[in-house]
Amino acid sequence: MPAHVPKDTDFEGRVRRSFARQGVMETIGAVMTQVAPGEVEIAMPVSAQVGQQHGFVHAGIVATIADSACGYAALTLMPAGTGVLTAEFKINLMAPAAGERLIARGTVVRSGRLLSVAQAEVAAEGDGQRKTVALMTATLVNVEGRDGIAD
Amino acid sequence: MPAHVPKDTDFEGRVRRSFARQGVMETIGAVMTQVAPGEVEIAMPVSAQVGQQHGFVHAGIVATIADSACGYAALTLMPAGTGVLTAEFKINLMAPAAGERLIARGTVVRSGRLLSVAQAEVAAEGDGQRKTVALMTATLVNVEGRDGIAD
Amino acid sequence: MPAHVPKDTDFEGRVRRSFARQGVMETIGAVMTQVAPGEVEIAMPVSAQVGQQHGFVHAGIVATIADSACGYAALTLMPAGTGVLTAEFKINLMAPAAGERLIARGTVVRSGRLLSVAQAEVAAEGDGQRKTVALMTATLVNVEGRDGIAD
Amino acid sequence: MPAHVPKDTDFEGRVRRSFARQGVMETIGAVMTQVAPGEVEIAMPVSAQVGQQHGFVHAGIVATIADSACGYAALTLMPAGTGVLTAEFKINLMAPAAGERLIARGTVVRSGRLLSVAQAEVAAEGDGQRKTVALMTATLVNVEGRDGIAD
């Protein structure tokens, strides 16, 4: 894959400001730990507040950080003023999302004129171990000139 | 599709007790509004606490209630002692998840020996209107005799 | 879902002419059996030429007729000169694709400005029985003014 | 990801014999070009016989070789007598499948007791160029002791 060249020199500031407006991230305790052209990493602690019935993190919450990692990875490559919206995603849950914290790393695999495709890997960390627990593939729509969807 | 016949007469109690153990549902304010053989409905209020950067409900939270609706719809048809885990799901976000509340309705389309397949439709309600905002298809694994995964 | 109103009165002719250009359909013996606004049906005989190792129709061939059913269902609602391309699809194979023939019925669930979403159900017929064997959800991109992608 | 250790020393022979029974592969001219533990490669020529209306390879045929690459990659890791069936897959078509030939490379990302997860990348080659045109994620069910589903 070729190295990604951002069209907006302020890509990191833009992505971090947008992430700060995602109310859900505060609710689940997620933070953005890394931003690079075409790549974004989000981390969150494992807790009962985001749990399902067996004590693992709920698949939808795993998807929440994976989806934001994909979307913001795509946004790093957009020109200023262009936002992205998730059209669809698919996620495979391969192991229980347990441990101390989850890390979702999103990577752009195609940045097109209308659509971007990104993938995320979610790993669970705990007891000095790291294990891949989920893989997502997402399709994002680039949105230009629509009120309120700038970033 | 043939009518579904539950193998466990206490299917509703079992599903409701399991749902009550999903900590994330209290965090996002979701409640189980309906349980029938092969069908489950979950509702949640729209709020900034589950929002993304444009004020809509985050795609991952839409997926959270859709996934639980699918999983519990599948669980209504399992014998006592058999649980279900999500192997994977795919969701299409077709319109912004805005309004007053979201309703996810999950329906079993196949209940097999090892795997179940369920679909969910998520609708947004507000101002007396109702609009389909997302469609999910999920694959669930039936889990028998594994400690801690009973329901 | 509201009734679909085609923007091109010749939608059926356009869809049938385009289908006739899909060389793969002749290769696998598939025919278009029905065209209506937002709905298309494609049928094909089950044969060893499209089989996998156990004698069932290969999942990719099941996907081939389901994808065309989705794409052409979306095309029935496009204005003249606008084509559609599949951005992605997901298919669940719920039962072996066996019997005498397969029928894929594609239905539009959202027809937007840039993207369409369609779903297909594939049924297997044989011995006077009919069984759903697969469900697909597809995202299509509307393509306007690009050479060679008119229909 | 840890290196994969096959449980059946004849994994390559088993996979190649099974592939030879997939009638569809002869129909579309596909051949198995590589077999290694957890990895399989399949190649096919681009031709009008597998084309869609614009002359590209039909998305369903791209999916056909990607699905077999995923399934056989999973089968390399199964004990003798255990087969795999595709439960579901999702594919993103990122560029037109054109050129001289397509190469699908399938890789196992998780090999579990009941389910395997594999991913495939499909590249188009032509004019000395190579371009990724599609990405698939597939869920496979391990099938043991069912008549006719041995490999």
Residue D150 lies in a domain: no
Average pLDDT, chain D: 95
Q: What is the CATH number of the domain that holds A93?
A: 3.10.129.10
Residue B150 lies in a domain: no
DSSP secondary-structure letter at D97? -
pLDDT-derived band at B145, boundaries 50, 70, 90? confident
| Minimum Cα–Cα distance from B59: chain A residue | A64
In a 3-state reduction of DSSP, which class is residue A51? strand
Residue D2 lies in a domain: no
* Residue B68 CB coordination number (10 Å): 30
* Residue D10 CB coordination number (10 Å): 11
Q: Which chain D residues contact residue C59 at CB under 8 A?
A: 63-64, 67, 86, 89
Contact predicate B101/B43, CB 8 Å: yes
Which helix (H) or strand (E) segment is D59 a member of? helix D59-75
Q: Please state the pTM of the whole predicted model.
A: 0.96
| Minimum Cα–Cα distance from C68: chain D residue | D60
ipTM, 2 decimals? 0.96
Query: Looking at the predicted structure, is the pLDDT value of residue A33 above 90?
Result: yes
CB contact under 8 Å between B117 and C109, yes or no, is: no
Could you give the percent of chain B with pLDDT greater than 90? 91
pLDDT-derived band at A2, boundaries 50, 70, 90? low
User: What's the domain count of chain A?
Assistant: 1
Contact predicate D97/D124, CB 8 Å: yes
Q: What is the pLDDT of residues D104-127, one digit of tens each?
A: 999 999 999 999 999 999 999 999
Of the listed ranges C75-89, C97-111, D137-151, the least confidently predicted one is D137-151
Contact predicate D66/D106, CB 8 Å: yes
Residue A25 lies in a domain: yes
Contact predicate C113/C77, CB 8 Å: no
> Min CA distance, A11 vs chain D (Å)?
24
pLDDT-derived band at A22, boundaries 50, 70, 90? very high
Query: Looking at the predicted structure, is the pLDDT value of residue B147 above 80?
Result: no
Please work out, in degrees rounded to the nearest 5, the angle formed at the alpha carbon of residue D5 by the alpha carbons of D1 and D6.
130
Find the domain containing B34 and state its range.
11-144
Residue B6 lies in a domain: no
Of the listed ranges A122-136, B68-82, B137-151, the least confidently predicted one is B137-151
Of the listed ranges B52-61, B68-77, C121-130, D137-146, the least confidently predicted one is D137-146
CB contact under 8 Å between A53 and B88, yes or no, is: no
Q: What is the pLDDT of residues B111-124, one digit of tens each?
A: 999 999 999 999 99
Residue C111 lies in a domain: yes
Q: What is the pLDDT of residues C24-70, one digit of tens each?
A: 999 999 999 999 999 999 999 999 999 999 999 999 999 999 999 99
**Ramachandran angles phi, psi of D3, nearest 5°:** -65, 145
Contact predicate C142/C114, CB 8 Å: yes
Q: What's the confidence (pLDDT) of residue D98?
A: 96
Answer with the residue of higher pLDDT: C107 or C3.
Answer: C107
Residue B98 lies in a domain: yes
Q: What's the confidence (pLDDT) of residue D1?
A: 52
Query: Looking at the predicted structure, is the pLDDT value of residue B79 above 90?
Result: yes
> Min CA distance, D47 vs chain C (Å)?
9
Q: What's the confidence (pLDDT) of residue C1?
A: 52
Mean pLDDT of B4-20: 95
Mean pLDDT of A61-85: 96
Question: Chain A contact for C146, CB < 8 A?
Answer: no
Place of tokens 């659509």: A115
pLDDT-derived band at D3, boundaries 50, 70, 90? confident
Question: Chain C contact for A88, CB < 8 A?
Answer: yes
Residue A21 lies in a domain: yes
